[in-house]
Amino acid sequence: MTITAAADGSALGNPGPAGWAWYVNDDCWRAGGWPHGTNNQGELMAVLDLFRATAHVPGEDLLILCDSQYVINAVTKWMPGWKRKGWRKADGKPVLNVDLLKEIDQALVGRKYTFEWVRGHAGHELNEAADVRARAAATAYQQDVAVRQGPGFGTPEGGTPSAGQADSMMPQAAPRTAPAQPAPSQAATRAPAAPAPSGQQELFGAPGAYDEPDLFSELEEELAALAETSPEAVVESLERELLRPETRADVGRTGVLLHPDFTEIGSSGRIWTRDAMMMSLEDNPGGPVDLELLGADRLGEKTMLLTYRSHTREGSALRSSLWVLEGAQWRLRFHQGTPEA
């Protein structure tokens, strides 16, 4: 028998009120969170809690559906190297979220598991169910109301709670200790983002002004680890990240990924600046975008040209993105899109 479950995390503001959840079906799911945390911490905690919740059935195969390539790569690729280096990255800096990662490393012992990447916010039933519950938990902490924790995985023979139901599930990595919760109540979920206006297929949007955002630690961790892969793979991963609605709505992430001198020539012929993009995206991140890669060409040691076809509900467009490397960080310097007939 294979247990199939989706695991997801959410952080309102990233960092901010954070939630996590795993979901098998309506009778088998669990959620939690913290008053302050990151999206990556939520994603990791969902995976950890899922392993703990199924610890009483170690002989069962576990298929984990996850929309975070950071989590999948951290657990399946990068963790062995981090352990050999004393939980330090290639640059010698400590690995972020190390307490959660160490707990996951222990939980994996003796388990049969497979991770499968699924595209977030693309209508996948289990992923959407986990996402809704993770966002509900984050919203509950934002509104200071009780979190709907869910039924868990049930209890093994003997009547004792499964690991996934224990009160000690909160990891040491949580930035703050969660307050005692009142009696269970329904937590509100965040309203979905408004769809992008039809007609003009532009990557981003309209004028505003933002200071340089802080570089959030979990994104720096992901980028530092990705540096061990090819630059082409890194740039493609970052381009896909920018096409996700949850990324586009987060000024922190867009501020990290867009170069200070970013410019776009939109499909309408309008020229967009970085500040204009950030304000427009925060107000209207649009819907899901599929990327069909056409090419990733190095124009120099620190310059990469990515060409691809994007697919949305409004149609397809041919796009080119110029990425430049600043230190260890790839940032989008220029973008142009042309709708296909």
Q: Which domains does the chain have, with CATH numbers?
A: 2-157 (3.30.420.10), 217-339 (3.10.450.50)
| Residue 128 CB coordination number (10 Å) | 17
- Burial (CB < 10 A; 0-12, 13-18, 19+), residue 29, is buried
Q: Write the pLDDT tens digit of every residue in 281-323.
A: 877 888 888 899 999 999 998 999 999 999 888 888 899 999 9
Beta-strand pair 61-66/112-117: parallel
Helix (H), strand (E) counts: the chain: 10, 11
Cβ–Cβ < 8 Å for 238, 308: no
Cβ–Cβ < 8 Å for 256, 89: no
Residue keyed to tokens 């505003």 = 208
57-71, 72-86, 93-107, 246-260: range with lowest mean pLDDT: 246-260
**Which residues does the annotation mark as catalytic?**
8-9, 43, 67, 121, 131
Alpha-carbon distances of 9 from 16, 148, 193, 248, rounded to whole Å: 12, 15, 17, 17
Cβ–Cβ < 8 Å for 169, 284: no
Q: Is the pLDDT of residue 237 over 50?
A: yes
The confidence score (pLDDT) of residue 336 equals 94
Ordered alpha helix ranges (H), the chain: 39-53, 69-73, 79-84, 98-107, 125-143, 217-226, 231-242, 245-248, 251-257, 274-283
How far is residue 126's CA from residue 99's CA, in Å, rounded to a whole number? 27
Q: How many Å separate Cα 136 from the centre of its chain?
A: 16
Instruction: State the amino acid at position 200 in one-letter form.
Output: Q
The confidence score (pLDDT) of residue 229 equals 63
The confidence score (pLDDT) of residue 327 equals 82
Q: What's the mean pLDDT in 41-60?
A: 94
How far is residue 58's CA from residue 153's CA, in Å, rounded to a whole number? 13
Alpha-carbon distances of 291 from 198, 210, 261, 319, rounded to whole Å: 18, 28, 24, 10
Q: Write the pLDDT tens digit of every residue in 160-179.
A: 333 333 222 222 223 333 33
How far is residue 229's CA from residue 215's CA, in Å, rounded to a whole number? 21
* pLDDT over 90 percentage in the chain: 44
The confidence score (pLDDT) of residue 312 equals 86
Q: What's the mean pLDDT in 68-90?
A: 90
Average pLDDT, the chain: 78
The confidence score (pLDDT) of residue 22 equals 97
